[in-house]
Amino acid sequence: MKRGALRDAALSSPGARDPTPRFPPHQPPFPAGCGAGERPATLRLPMAAWLFKTEPSDYSYDDLVRDGRVVWEGVSNATALIHLRKVEKGDFVVVYHTGGEKRAVGLAAAASAAYPDPKLGDPKRVVVDLTPGKALPEPVPLATFREDAVLKTTDLVRISRLSIVPLTDAHLARLLALAKA
């Protein structure tokens, strides 16, 4: 049966009702004073979580701890840049070492929202300031990401070339549990 044919067949039977959920008249789908596609200035979505990949021989988590704050630069992949543009001040960041280590090693926070890279002068290329949190008590290796039922759905496993990976609440909770953080 073709896609949607079952729904169409169900709707064509006598007395059928459209099963599409609707918002009751007393419960608008958007906050008051907010039209479709608008977000009120006071509405702040919950903090996002991200996984930032780095080659430890270039810049490691220990370097971030030593420096106290860093401009996270050098991201050029189009999809990674889309993710990086979504980073807001206060977002949660998991630092992941690539290369020979291949493991999540520490926690950090976005100290700024994304802004154009001042070194490049290209508004499409953005950077974010990061501050260190704490090292993970037990780093989480890539093999665990691949084997774990929750973590194997991350873009770290699915699209391994990305240097900036969004994490869902479930991903973050599972990663922190495995790291005993």
CATH T-level fold of 48-179: ph1033 like fold (3.10.590)
Q: Write down the mean pLDDT value for the chain.
A: 81
d(CA 172, CA 97): 17
Per-residue confidence (pLDDT) for residue 46, from 0 to 100: 55
Per-residue confidence (pLDDT) for residue 169, from 0 to 100: 93
- pTM to 2 decimal places: 0.74
pLDDT per residue as tens digits for the range 86-131: 999 999 999 999 999 999 999 999 999 999 999 998 889 999 999 9
Q: Where are the domains of the chain?
A: 48-179
Q: What is the mean pLDDT of residues 5-31?
A: 41
